[in-house]
Copies of this chain bind each other. A is one copy, B any other.
Amino acid sequence: MYQLIDGKAISEQVKLEIAEEVKLMVDAGKRPPHLAVIIVGHDGGSETYVAHKVKSCEQVGFKSTKIAFEANVTEAELLSKINELNRDNELDGFIVQLPLPKHISEQKVIESIDYHKDVDGFHPVNVGRMSIGLPCYVSATPYGILELIKRYNIPTSGKNCVVIGRSNIVGKPIASLMMQKGYPGDATVTVCHSRTKNLKEICLQADIIIAALGQPGFLSADMVKEGASVIDVGTTRVPSEKTKSGFRLSGDVKFDEVAPKCSFITPVPGGVGPMTIVSLLKNTLLAAKKEIY
């Protein structure tokens, strides 16, 4: 019988742990950690994410500041605000919610954030330090995946870990982390992608599969060996007649047929998803405690 990785429960537990730490900080006379979130325009998904982030800050006792710009804000105005936040000593970390309107360079924005406050972990300094194995802010999704692996004591040393997808925000960083020395890590990591020719064969050798390609129901039972652990990072909105919203979230894994073969498996929703905001909170706490830099 497979064990379901309950990301929702773990995320609530981690939040309680963070809240406890914040309480100790405040009891000791320190100000609580402070996260700022910049949002540009009115993308529905972005507004929902940002609202969740602000709410989660409240839950754990963080101070949060939401800074909203209209979609026609200039790149210069945005960069000016970022510079202001970089210099704000009362602010531990901040993020700029992506995607941004086309007239603004996301990479320029990311690189203009002081990496000491880059709690999204997207700045090249944090990406580079992660690759080298130095302390850094690890971006939300890979951080969340590691946390789930740790909380369920999933063995990784010497295991074959197959990562499907080579995105900068999931595939590459989780591959990099799973091959680092220590736990969770020390895995033999294979990164597969659209050009991979023998994907099924490769997946069948995997002890751990991390599916992060964003293709609903891509991973089927015939691609998974008995006893594997499967982490499903996919969260694609697909139309649904069963929900009020008219859509549901679909993972990259055919859960119903894959789960019976697994040792551990994450559901979608309720697996990796809830962990991402918790990762952001963790990074902000690390920033407030100056544990990384």
Which of A44-52, A121-129, A247-255 faces chain B? Answer: A121-129
How distant is A12 from chain B, measured CB to nearest CB, in Å?
Answer: 32
Contact with B along A177-214 (1 / 0, CB 8 A): 00110000011111111011110001000000000000
- Would B127 and A168 count as touching, CB distance under 8 A? no
Q: Nearest CB to that of A172 among chain B residues? A: B131
A175 to B172, CA, bound (A): 10
- Would A195 and B158 count as touching, CB distance under 8 A? yes
How many copies of the shown chain assemble into the complex?
Answer: 2
- Would B179 and A188 count as touching, CB distance under 8 A? no
10 A-B pairs with the lowest CB-CB distances in the bound complex, closest first:
A128-B128, A124-B128, A127-B128, A190-B190, A186-B195, A188-B196, A158-B197, A158-B195, A124-B125, A124-B129
| Listed A/B pairs (21) with beta-carbon separation below 8 Å | A107-B134, A124-B127, A124-B134, A125-B128, A127-B131, A127-B132, A128-B128, A131-B176, A132-B168, A132-B172, A158-B197, A160-B198, A166-B179, A172-B176, A179-B193, A186-B195, A187-B195, A188-B191, A188-B192, A188-B195, A189-B190
- Would A179 and B191 count as touching, CB distance under 8 A? yes
- Would B198 and A193 count as touching, CB distance under 8 A? no
A195 to B157, CA, bound (A): 7
Contact with B along A90-130 (1 / 0, CB 8 A): 00000000000000000100000000000000011111111
Q: Which residues of A pack against B, CB within 8 Å? A: 107, 123-134, 157-158, 160, 166, 168, 172-173, 175-176, 179-180, 186-193, 195-198, 202
A181 to B179, CA, bound (A): 21
Q: Which of A173, A180, A190 has most chain B Cβ within 10 Å?
A: A190
How distant is A34 from chain B, measured CB to nearest CB, in Å?
Answer: 26
- Would B134 and A131 count as touching, CB distance under 8 A? no
